Amino acid sequence: MPRDLSEEVLHLLRASRSDQGPMSLAHLSRALGVSSQLMTSCASDMVGRGLAQPQMSLMRGVPTLRGLMSQPRAAVADPS
């Protein structure tokens, strides 16, 4: 059965406590059992669609996506 990786990531982000800060892409890929390359691609797509907030860090002076935080509930359209 195909999986909607974006929905699974959103479920994990919403289940996390806000005081824990963003979830790293490495943590998300381990939790969902997918490769880091697939998680990076999915995370970039989610940020582009406005489903998640990025956590960026500078790697040799270049901003790099390192993790995700969920959007506030009001900002995310309810699919139902």
pLDDT in tens, 6-57: 999 998 988 887 677 788 999 999 999 999 999 999 999 999 999 998 989 8
Per the domain annotation, does 56 fall within a domain? yes
Per the domain annotation, does 36 fall within a domain? yes
Distance (Å, whole) CA 47 – CA 65? 10
Give Cβ neighbours of residue 3 (< 8 Å, ≥ 6 apart): none
The per-residue pLDDT for range 8-21, each reduced to its tens digit, is 999 898 888 767 77
Instruction: Indicate the pLDDT class of residue 74, thresholds 50, 70 and 90.
Output: very low
Per the domain annotation, does 61 fall within a domain? yes
Residue type, position 78, single letter: D
Which residue range is the domain that position 15 belongs to? 5-73
Stronger pLDDT, 61 or 76, i.e. the higher one:
61
Per the domain annotation, does 79 fall within a domain? no
Per the domain annotation, does 44 fall within a domain? yes
The domain tally of the chain equals 1
The sign of the torsion formed by the CA atoms of 49, 51, 53, 57 equals negative
Write the CATH number for 26: 1.10.10.10
pTM: 0.76
Alpha carbon separation from 49 to 1, 17, 52, 59, 76 (Å, rounded) = 24, 23, 8, 24, 10
Per the domain annotation, does 80 fall within a domain? no
